Chain A
Amino acid sequence: MQREEKQLETSLETLIAQVSDIKNSLVAFIHKLENEYERLTWPSVLDNFALLTGQLNTLNKVLKNEKMPLLKNQVIIPLLLSPDRDEEIMRLTEGRVPVFSHEVVPDHLRTKPDPEVEEQEKQLSSEAARITPEVAQKQVQSMNKLCNSLLEKIIKEERDSDVSSLRQNKQTYNPNDTNALVAAVAFGKGLSNRRPPGPGGPMGAGQTGASGMLPGAASMQQMSMPPNQQQHMAGVPMAQGGQPGKMPSSIKTNIKSASMHPYQR
């Protein structure tokens, strides 16, 4: 018996601590809402809600704990009613309840719903009792029908919005553009500077000409006809292409022919 009482006491203490925690955070939140609403940000409001949710969850856990005695079975009886001002009660209730009199006790120790609520509930249950089981069944069916069609509508709406958003999203990129841009950045495809001769253009063309086809042709001729005169004769029609770039090539071939000479003879 004593053990049970002790248990009740400790669990009540934890309950009171939890509830006062919740009360404090509520007070702080309300204070913020009333006084700092101008600079209150949405994330901090959400933080406050999260805090409250967490605290309510802990309270629920405490209530559902195995060690928590069945509070329903506890009875509270007002032992003393007095019309005089009670300082102790004032302190405990933070000034909300100044007296513990017959006027306020029914409100504060009430375990039933408010009279108006009780009245409404009574009306509803008497109405429910009046209808026959068949009518009730019919009403249940029509209710289910309504719910189902509503659900279908919602699902259909969701699917449609998915499809339409997909269709929209398809337009946010174009694979051809991706390829064009990647090619442009990677090796300059489609950038106008690439084809028309830029600063390096003609020089590059001249180089390939000089080191590629012309010297090869010239040295071929030289191999077959060593005399200088003939080389010149042959060189003229070749030069009909008429590049100034011919000059370095002929110098080059001359050097080559000079170095070739000893081996030929």
Chain B
Amino acid sequence: MEAPPVTTMPVTGGTINMMEYLLQGSILDQGLDSLLHRLRGLCDNMEPETFADHESVYLLKGQQASPFVLRARRPLDRPGSPWHLRYLGQPEAGDRSRHTLVRNCVDIATSEVLPEFLQEMGFRMDHEFIAKGHLFRKGVMKIAVFKVFRVLVAGTAEGAEPLSLSYLVELSVVAPAGQDSIADEVRSFAEQLKPLVQLEKIDPKRLM
């Protein structure tokens, strides 16, 4: 059967054309406490928030060379909360003058039938992982410090083993396209986390 026609471009126009400005880095386990301490000082005054998410990445192979990728996330620690479906566009690293990675993104909250729905549409699961960690906010910026776990038994979080001895640190802002001044804001916040964490724009294509 032929795959349904899908465009690899996200819906543009309206309010959906949002961009994610992203910087990534990592922190070794032994440095985690000092990083959290610093983030508590720098970020908005709020109760420290933790999260534990299970992310499944689905692919749909169409006529195009590159498959269409959707990410489905469900919280493990908050039963009954909605699933989170996310589309991420190709990241653009840009030149040196651009301070962050920029990629298109569409976020939608869904019900728990999402996996079945995607499978019926012809998507198949490519890989999955567990992300457990801490979440901070500073204005529009979001800082997630989390550990990535390898899933051993498909579809369940049990027995997941940590991928490395580091936590991944992601500093991101989702904003309407064209607000490049936000990238400067993100960069200056990243400067404040140095030398604890080196947040950079990392083009994943380089790591393939």
* Interface residue ranges, A against B (CB under 8 Å): 166, 169-175, 177-194, 198-200, 203-204
A-B contact pairs, 22 of them (CB 8 A): A169-B195, A172-B27, A172-B30, A173-B31, A173-B197, A173-B198, A177-B28, A178-B166, A181-B148, A182-B202, A182-B204, A183-B207, A184-B129, A186-B207, A189-B208, A190-B150, A190-B163, A192-B150, A193-B151, A193-B154, A198-B154, A199-B124
Give residues 122-157 of B contacting A (CB, 8 Å).
124-129, 131, 148, 150-152, 154
CB of B178 to closest CB in A, whole Å: 24
The 8 Å CB contact of A177, one of B57, B125, B165, B204, is B165
A182: chain B residues at CB < 8 Å are 24, 168, 202, 204, 207
Q: Is the CB of A193 within 8 A of B127?
A: yes
Q: Is the CB of B28 within 8 A of A171?
A: yes
A194: chain B residues at CB < 8 Å are 126-127
Q: Is the CB of A172 within 8 A of B35?
A: yes
The complex places the Cα of A170 from the Cα of B31 at a distance, in Å, of: 10
B208: chain A residues at CB < 8 Å are 183, 187, 189
B128: chain A residues at CB < 8 Å are 191, 193
The complex places the Cα of A200 from the Cα of B163 at a distance, in Å, of: 23
The complex places the Cα of A189 from the Cα of B148 at a distance, in Å, of: 12
B25 within 8 A of A: yes
Give residues 161-208 of B contacting A (CB, 8 Å).
163-166, 168, 195-198, 200, 202, 204, 207-208
Q: Is the CB of A191 within 8 A of B150?
A: yes
Closest partner residue, chain B, to A178 (CB atom): B26
Which of A185, A188, A192 has the most chain B CB atoms inside 10 A of its CB? A185
A175: chain B residues at CB < 8 Å are 198
Q: Is the CB of B202 within 8 A of A179?
A: yes
Other 13 A-B pairs with CB < 8 A, given A178-B202, A200-B124? A174-B165, A177-B166, A181-B168, A182-B202, A183-B208, A185-B168, A186-B207, A187-B208, A191-B128, A191-B129, A193-B127, A193-B154, A199-B154
Q: Is the CB of B154 within 8 A of A179?
A: no
B110 within 8 A of A: no
CB of B58 to closest CB in A, whole Å: 9
Q: Is the CB of A188 within 8 A of B127?
A: yes
Given contacts A172-B195, A186-B204, contact A199 B28 (CB under 8 A): no
CB of A172 to closest CB in B, whole Å: 3
A199: chain B residues at CB < 8 Å are 124-125, 154
A204: chain B residues at CB < 8 Å are 124
